[in-house]
């Protein structure tokens, strides 16, 4: 089992208040150390799935105490090996909630992906340039290589998490990162479109100028997979390929076709990008909810519920409006194609 070490600094006089903590999670071991007459260091070795409940208890009891600090440390291995406890029927629901890592760990990982850094900018440029060349050549291997970089995974997962937790500061941060990432991708794709001839007769490009049911399923699956990667603690690099495939190639096609003067095909690519962004975020938010991710305090939970309702309603309305647009455009094209 995956283990974490919780280290907390608390008032020495409050050590007795922690005696009931083992009842709130499967504590493997615990060590108390006096730092001085006023403070104590408590180390608790616990299964990763039980970290959240223990940390919440610590915060509830000591958040307002001067000098309180809690730290979470991943444990690669420990000897002797901890014995796996046997779950009974009463612990089934608890087992389900332990299938993901704790809220703070997820938040730190996901929110870091919404930072606009020089590395993020470089990744967006490189990924778009490589993807654009791969699209022009119709080379799937080059496209996959570009997608491994996955620059847009972080901002979109951060937006899903911010919505789920009702964190408006993170919403603004992730939206800004998304806009910057897409702007860089557009400029990079436009640069390739100016340098090289681009045509919708190329199969890889033509496939990304219209929305199909398969594209919707791919985007929904991508959003779900991206969230599962973060909440399970699994490496997100390969899962990020799915999100990148849904977002970056069609946007690169949009940029290249727009500067090439093929506005109709470019609008189709932009519609595909819009559908993918909506589906990735809708599926991501619903997956975070299904994973039981909630804010710590009750008032934050109430705020988060409102934010989630608003976000899901917005994404659903946008998806419905986009579907109507696609249907109308398809019907119009079909009518003109069959008119003698």
pLDDT tens digits, residue range 248-279?
Answer: 889 999 999 999 999 989 998 998 999 889 99
Which one of 78, 97, 116 terminates a domain?
97
88 and 150 within one domain: no
Residues 6+ apart with CB under 8 A from 127: 146, 147, 149, 150, 151, 185, 244, 248
Mean pLDDT for the stretch of residues 134-150: 83
44/165 same-domain check: no
Q: Any alpha helices (H) in the chain, and if so which ranges?
A: 51-62, 92-97, 103-112, 118-137, 140-149, 153-165, 168-195, 203-206, 213-232, 237-260, 263-290, 298-338
Question: Quick one: average pLDDT of 129-138?
Answer: 91
Residue 129 maps to which CATH number? 1.20.1080
Q: Give the least confident one: 5-14, 142-151, 208-217.
A: 142-151
Domain match, 72 and 121 both: no
Which of these three, 97, 112, 145, is where a domain ends? 97
Same domain, 231 and 314: yes
Residues 32 and 152 placed together within one structural domain of the fold: no
Please identify, among 97, 118, 133, the residue that sits at the C-terminal boundary of a domain. 97
What CATH number did the domain enclosing 67 receive? 3.30.70.120
If one counts the domains in the chain, the total is 2
Q: Which domain holds residue 115?
A: 103-338
Considering the domain architecture, whether residues 70 and 143 belong to the same structural domain is answered as: no
- 59/206 same-domain check: no
pLDDT of residue 103: 84
Reported as a single tens digit per residue, the pLDDT across 177-204 is 999 999 999 999 999 999 998 888 888 8
Q: Are residues 168 and 296 in the same domain?
A: yes
Mean pLDDT of 75-86: 77
- 76 with 9, same domain: the answer is yes
Mean pLDDT throughout 88-115?
A: 70
Q: Could you please report the per-residue DSSP string of 79-146? A: SSPPPPPPP-GGGHHHHHHTTS--HHHHHHHHHHTT---HHHHHHHHHHHHHHHHHHHHT-HHHHHHH
In this prediction, residue 332 carries a pLDDT of 45
User: Is there a single domain that holds both residue 33 and residue 158?
Assistant: no
Task: Clarify whether residues 132 and 235 are in a common domain.
Answer: yes
Confidence band of 85 (pLDDT split at 50, 70, 90): low
154 and 264 housed in the same domain: yes
């Amino acid at each position: 089992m995956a283990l974490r070490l919780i280290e907390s600094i608390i008032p020495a006089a409050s050590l007795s208040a922690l005696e009931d903590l083992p009842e709130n999670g499967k504590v493997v071991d615990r060590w108390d150390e006096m730092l001085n007459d006023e403070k104590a260091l408590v180390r608790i070795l616990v299964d990763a799935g039980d970290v959240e409940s223990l940390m919440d208890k610590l915060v509830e009891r000591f958040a307002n105490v001067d000098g309180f600090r809690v730290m979470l440390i991943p444990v690669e291995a420990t000897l002797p090996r901890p014995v796996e406890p046997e779950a009974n029927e009463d612990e089934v629901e608890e087992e389900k909630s332990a299938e993901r890592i704790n809220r703070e760990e997820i938040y730190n990982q996901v929110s870091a992906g919404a930072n606009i850094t020089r590395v993020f900018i470089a990744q967006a440029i490189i990924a778009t340039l490589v993807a654009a060349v791969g699209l022009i050549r119709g080379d799937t291997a080059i496209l996959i290589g570009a997608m491994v970089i996955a620059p847009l995974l972080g901002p979109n997962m951060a937006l899903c998490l911010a919505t789920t937790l009702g964190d408006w500061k993170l919403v603004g941060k992730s939206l800004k990162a998304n806009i910057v990432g897409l702007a860089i991708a557009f400029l990079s794709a436009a640069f390739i479109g100016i340098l090289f001839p681009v045509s919708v007769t190329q199969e890889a490009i033509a496939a990304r100028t219209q929305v199909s049911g398969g594209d919707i399923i791919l985007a929904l699956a991508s959003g779900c997979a991206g969230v599962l990667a973060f909440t399970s603690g699994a490496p997100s690099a390969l899962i990020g390929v799915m999100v990148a495939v849904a977002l970056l190639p069609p946007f690169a096609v949009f940029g290249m076709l727009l500067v090439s003067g093929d506005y109709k095909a470019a609008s189709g690519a932009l519609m595909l990008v819009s559908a993918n962004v909506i589906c990735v975020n809708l599926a991501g938010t619903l997956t975070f909810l299904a994973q039981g991710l909630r804010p710590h305090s009750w008032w934050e939970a109430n705020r988060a519920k409102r934010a989630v309702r608003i976000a899901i309603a917005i994404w659903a309305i946008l998806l419905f409006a986009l579907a109507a647009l696609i249907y109308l455009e398809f019907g119009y094209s079909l009518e003109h194609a069959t008119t003698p």
